[in-house]
Chain A
Amino acid sequence: MNHELILAGFGGQGIMFAGQLLAYAGMLEDKHVSWIPSYGPEMRGGTANCSVVVSDKEISCPIVTEPSILVALNMPSLEKFEPSVQEKGLIVYNSSLAVQPPSRNGIDTLAVPGNKIAEELGNSRVVNMVMVGALVEKTGLVSMDSVFAALEKVLPEHRRHLIPLNKSALEAGAERCK
């Protein structure tokens, strides 16, 4: 098992956090994991992406250039990274913002209306968790229990009150793929 992911979107969409959560969940399952951010100097806006590797063997290169899984939270990210996805790879995309579906053949795709689901939960900011929930349900990359456990570790103290909301978002995303 060797998953090489790129998660991408606007700055502020919670891309980095989503990636860290997956890496942490993988570590809790004794897998080899790595996470690397890539972003500009701005705090919000602009583009942000991170590389995450979750593997049964030691990770040689932590920088992902040809992902087996792309998680795209907006249209520019989907357009930018779609060509780099491995043959037979998977694209999970936020169809609320990425309105043009991937056009490539030979890859698997999963459309998740992330913003719509997040807004139904009453907070559009958990779109990242909706997408992670869908990804985990679809791929079994890590277990949902590990993601829940990681949430307790990765969220800073002053954000712990948001754990129930984040869990609901993860579950709502997963529900979408069942």
Chain B
Amino acid sequence: MAKLLMEGNQALAEAAIHAGCRYFFGYPITPQSEIPEYLSRRLPQVGGVYLQAESEVSAINMVFGAAGTGARVFTASSSPGISLMSEGISYIAACELPCVLVNVQRGGPGLGNIAPSQADYNQATKGIGHGDFHLLVLAPNSVQEMADLTIWAFDLADKYRNPVMVLSDGILGQMMEPVEFSEEIPEPPEKPWAVTGASGRKRNIINSLHIAPEVLEARNLKLQAKYAAAKENECRCENYLTEDAELVVAAFGSCARIAKAAVEEARSQGIKAGLCRPITVWPFPEAAVAEACKNARACIVTEMNEGQMVYDIRLALKDRIPVHSFGKMGGVIPTPNQILDEIKKLEVKPGV
């Protein structure tokens, strides 16, 4: 298939259709509104349903219902809208229903602004809703990955019967790059647990209420076993020029693109720098992070937030080397030169 020049949001939306998704429920919010705009036109063309709900709370509960029937379904929003969805997401995870959630992050907290941000990392990877559950969280860094990781997200959601989030941001959502879609459309697995009318079979019940603590504990243990399997099988990380790197920059998503430019400039100036880019931010690729830093004297984590992934990097490196944080907040985007300056500071004093 020929390359297309597409916005990240549009590429993501088209990828969902390629993955066999035919249902989208959402509510507009910048900088993700190109997703519902695109799908409002595209889904009816392929026999799907696009529905603009009256609120994010309503949209996530529509996703809940559609996922219960076994349909491939997704929703997209941006930071404040995702917060509104958090109760529904917990219910979906508790009921073990597959769906895809997209957060095109913007500056926060509160209403914040419409500039790109990565300030929802902790929310996505650790605290999206109440109770002991996790999303699987994928962090694209290009328009091509907006498409590829979305298709993977649908597969993971079905495989683990769990909501999967694509953690994007305003840069990735609105930038245009060439993108290619493979002709191959994956076949979703059978879903014998779905509520489809129960004719000729035992009825299926989808429920997250378990009054007896022992019963609820058993449910939780089942969820935890699933998360352990995801940790074992699904971690992805891209390490770049890390083999001999003495200073490693860790970054995810769009910020990793900026960090990559800084690392390349550092190399051209004779500094042995490398880049470690977690692609799954939950499960967190601890082994790959440790591998990236095996020869490093120090690591610096650059993020468009106050320093959130830095704690996961520290856990992965077990305090073996100093791990510094360089973050920009409120929708401010760091420049390659600013990151290069941080690398140069470490070149002199890795431990400070």
Contacts and interface: CB of A to CB of B under 8 A. Distances in A.
Task: Tell me if chain B binds chain A.
Answer: yes
Interface of A: 20, 23-24, 27, 32-37, 41, 59-63, 65-66, 153
27 contacts: A20-B176, A24-B5, A27-B5, A32-B178, A33-B5, A33-B177, A34-B175, A34-B176, A34-B177, A35-B175, A35-B176, A35-B177, A36-B174, A41-B30, A60-B336, A61-B257, A61-B260, A61-B261, A61-B336, A62-B175, A62-B177, A62-B257, A63-B257, A63-B258, A63-B333, A63-B335, A65-B337
Contact of A61 (B3, B178, B258): B258
B257 A60 contact: yes
A27 B176 CA distance: 11
Size range of the interface on B? 10 to 19
A33 B178 contact: yes
A47 to B, nearest CB: 14
A20, A32, A37, A60 interface centre (most CB from chain B within 10 Å):
A60
Nearest to B275: A60
Q: 6 closest pairs, A vs B, by CB? A: A61-B261, A60-B261, A35-B176, A60-B260, A36-B175, A65-B335
A176 B318 CA distance: 63
B174, B177, B261 interface centre (most CB from chain A within 10 Å):
B177
A66 B335 CA distance: 10
A60 B264 contact: yes
Nearest to A41: B114
A61 B260 CA distance: 7
Given A41-B30, A65-B336, A23 B176 contact: yes
B177 to A, nearest CB: 5
A27 B258 contact: no
A24 B4 CA distance: 9
A33 B258 CA distance: 16
Contacts of B3: 27
A142 to B, nearest CB: 13
Contacts of B257: 60-63
Contacts of A24: 5
B92 interface: no
Contacts of A27: 3, 5, 178
Contacts of A36: 171, 174-176
A162 B114 CA distance: 33
Given A27-B3, A34-B177, A60-B336, 9 more contacts: A23-B5, A33-B177, A35-B175, A36-B175, A37-B175, A60-B257, A62-B257, A63-B171, A63-B257
A33 to B, nearest CB: 7
Interface string B315-352: 00000000000000000010111000000000000000
A157 B3 CA distance: 20
B257 to A, nearest CB: 5
A27 B261 CA distance: 21
Interface in B1-51: 3, 5, 30
Interface in B144-182: 171, 174-178
A64 to B, nearest CB: 10
A74 B96 CA distance: 56
A110 B316 CA distance: 53
A90 B348 CA distance: 36
B3, B5, B264 interface centre (most CB from chain A within 10 Å):
B5
Contacts of A66: 337
A65 B3 CA distance: 27
Contacts of B177: 33-35, 59, 62
B95 to A, nearest CB: 38
A63 B336 CA distance: 9
Nearest to B113: A41
Contacts of A34: 175-177
B78 to A, nearest CB: 13
A20 B5 contact: yes
Given A60-B261, A61-B257, A61-B260, A37 B174 contact: yes
Nearest to A57: B264
A99 B317 CA distance: 57
Interface string B178-210: 100000000000000000000000000000000
A42 to B, nearest CB: 12
A63 B175 CA distance: 9
A105 B177 CA distance: 34
A117 to B, nearest CB: 27
A33 B3 CA distance: 12
Contacts of A65: 335-337
A11 to B, nearest CB: 15
